[in-house]
Amino acid sequence: MKPDARPLRRDAQRNRDLLVVAARQVFAERGLEVPLEDIAREAGVSIGTLYNRFPTRGALVDAALAGKVATAVELAGRAATKPDPWEGFAWFLERTCELQAADRGYNELCARSLPEATEIEALKAKGHALVLEIVDRAQRAGALRADFRDGDFAFVLWSVARTIEATGRHAPDAWRRHLAFMLDGFRAPAASPLPRRALAPDEVAEAMRNLGDR
Amino acid sequence: MKPDARPLRRDAQRNRDLLVVAARQVFAERGLEVPLEDIAREAGVSIGTLYNRFPTRGALVDAALAGKVATAVELAGRAATKPDPWEGFAWFLERTCELQAADRGYNELCARSLPEATEIEALKAKGHALVLEIVDRAQRAGALRADFRDGDFAFVLWSVARTIEATGRHAPDAWRRHLAFMLDGFRAPAASPLPRRALAPDEVAEAMRNLGDR
DNA sequence: CCCTAAGTTGAGAATGCCCTCAAGTTCAGC
DNA sequence: GCTGAACTTGAGGGCATTCTCAACTTAGGG
């Protein structure tokens, strides 16, 4: 993806790979705020090497998790071409939530934004375009309530992320029930008037940033 | 509420009051994880005095926020006697969420539990009984879907808490839209089969505890 | 007014994490 | 094999926070 200034020396590349593998595992188990020393130790490499390769936490998250975000974007692409548009909408939400449930770091990434993780942020932008399409199709088919907006998508991410944080250890599929309630609220026949206009994209972006820092 | 071993000396009582007032303000603005030094400074008292009076963070939270929790329990009592049971259900959710939106510390308290805050935990238990009643009435009236369980209440708390955390600063009533979607999903006609049994009370309790620590 | 139990104080020990950099090690091209 | 550039290392400085305690201050009963 990047211009790749110069190839790394072999040992450096090997250490980089070890770090990414370790980061994937540790982020998945313990979240994105894990001490970086723990990842270095897991990779069998010193903390200095970690900082050599990844000057910020975001850079490491980028390397570890961009793949998973790309997978989610692919899911969105597939959802946008499902024959039944409501099926596409619901299927996409379920699949991405499954990804969230399987990886604590990815789960956190879905609810907040991490400006340092540039590749991931770019992928998210791509995903957003596909979401617009998924929503539009489901509404044209009359299945998704007409007052749903793409900004309402964030509600699902935030909700399910929290439920997974809370229940992931001992009731790992509780989020399915939570999502089912939300989906029932999104179906066209369920619609009663909403009390507030939807969040604009920049308001969602700001909200995601707010969750980043305390 | 407590047996109150011995009354505090006048200056000590005054400092205690100052601390509680400061804690209320600082928790409301910056959440329950604010450094305790900041509260002591706000109260104009040294950190040692804070620890004298409140040996744990939970004890201070208890003193600062039990009142608000008691208010929420009163709301539940009123909701349980509203003429229209669905109105009672929806009204209660909206009122408590308003409390959450107005106080960042209280908001955090709603989503997780804080075992040290014993008075608050006791009040929550009282509230739970009233919630059972509110749910039961709304279901008997045929307004709330029959497969709703008290454990599903937690989904609302977690969802709205997250949305408030994310949007509280710049879109302080966004949670109303989120809640409206959820309410539409809870109405009886919206019901489609749920994919999983509800969380049992002890599973909810464990989940709340999980959110407490990292 | 004096005395003492009650209360206050803030420096500092302990912890945990971030990030740097000078010294040492290894790779790879010649 | 030599050499210079690339890379690794981990001790240590920095910072934020929690919690303690010995020395000091004060309320208030006699």
Higher pLDDT, B34 or B212: B34
| Angstrom distances, CA of residue A174 to CA of A64, B8, B89, B123 | 27, 48, 23, 26
Q: Residue A19, CA: closest nucleotide via C1'?
A: D8
When pLDDT is averaged across residues B121-136 and rounded to a whole number, the result is 96
Nucleic chain D contacts, Cβ below 7 Å = A 8-9, 11-12, 15, 45-49, 51-53; B 9-11, 35-37, 47-48, 51, 55-57
Domain boundaries, chain A: 1-55, 65-213
User: Is B195 within 8 Å of A177 when comparing Cβ atoms?
Assistant: yes
Report the number of secondary-structure helices (H) and strands (E) in chain A.
10, 0
Give the distance from CA A108 to its chain's centroid.
7
Residue nearest to nucleotide C27 (CA to C1'): A9
Please list every residue in chain A whose beta carbon sits closer than 8 Å to the beta carbon of residue B190: 184-185, 187, 189-190
Tell me the pTM.
Answer: 0.94
Residues in chain B with CB shorter than 8 Å from the CB of A176 are 195-196
Which of A4-8, B42-46, B90-94, B116-120 shows the lowest mean pLDDT across its residues? A4-8
Nearest to B195 among A159, A180, A191 (CB): A180
Q: Which of the four pLDDT bands, split at 50, 70 and 90, describes residue B6?
A: confident
C1' of nucleotide C8: residue with nearest CA: B49
Listed as ranges, the nucleotides of chain C within 7 A of a protein C-beta are 6-12, 16-22, 26-28
So what's the pLDDT on residue B7?
Answer: 87
Report the percent of chain B where pLDDT is more than 90.
94
Report the nucleotide nearest the CA of residue B18, measured to C1': C8
Verify whether the Cβ–Cβ distance A177 to B185 is below 8 Å: no
Which of A33, A167, A184 has the CB atom closest to B185's CB atom? A184
- Closest Cα to residue B60, out of B26, B88, B85, B104? B26
What span, in angstroms and rounded, lies between the C-alpha atoms of A160 and B149?
Answer: 18
Separation in Å: C30 C1' and A36 CA: 39
The pLDDT of residue A4 is: 55
The residue with tokens 């990886």 is A103
Record: contact A180-B173, CB cut-off 8 A: no
Distance separating alpha carbons of residues A96 and A156, to the nearest angstrom: 11
Q: Is the CATH number 3.10.450.40 carried by domain B1-55? A: no
| d(CA A73, C1' D6) / Å | 37
What DSSP state is assigned to residue B144? Answer: B
Residues whose CB falls within 8 Å of the CB of residue B43, separated by 6 or more in sequence, listed in order: B15, B18, B19, B21, B22, B23, B50
The confidence band for B177, taking pLDDT boundaries of 50, 70 and 90, is very high
A185 and B190 within 8 Å at the Cβ level: the answer is yes
d(CA A120, CA A87): 27
Instruction: Return positions of chain D under 7 A from a protein CB.
Output: 6-12, 16-22, 26-28
Q: What is the pLDDT of residue B181?
A: 98
* CB-CB neighbors (< 8 A) of B172 in chain A: none
Q: What confidence score (pLDDT) does residue B4 get? A: 55
Q: Under an 8 A CB cutoff, do B31 and A207 touch?
A: no
Query: For chain A, which ranges sit under pLDDT 70?
Result: 1-5, 213-214
Q: Which residues of A touch B183 (CB under 8 A)?
A: 185, 192
Output the pLDDT for position B3: 55
Overall average pLDDT of the B119-143 stretch: 97
Residues of A within 8 A of B197 (CB-CB) are 177
Question: Among residues 161-200 of chain A, which lie with CB inside 8 Å of chain B?
Answer: 161-163, 165-171, 173-174, 176-178, 180-187, 189-192, 194-199
Q: Would you say domain A65-213 falls under CATH 3.30.70?
A: no
Looking at the partner chain, which of B158, B189, B191 has a beta carbon nearest the beta carbon of A162? B158
Percentage of chain B modeled with pLDDT above 70: 97
Q: Between chains, do B33 and A190 touch, taking CB under 8 Å as contact?
A: no
Categorize the per-residue pLDDT at B93 as very low, low, confident or very high, splitting at 50, 70 and 90.
Answer: very high
**From CA A85, how far away is CA A143, in angstroms rounded?**
8
The reply to whether domains A1-55 and A65-213 share a CATH topology is no
Chain B residues with CB under 8 Å of A203 CB are 167, 170-171, 174
Instruction: Kindly report the backbone phi and psi dihedral angles of residue A121, in degrees, each rounded to the nearest multiple of 5, phi listed first.
Output: -65, -35
| Alpha carbon distance A62, A117 (integer Å) | 5
Average pLDDT over residues B118-136: 96
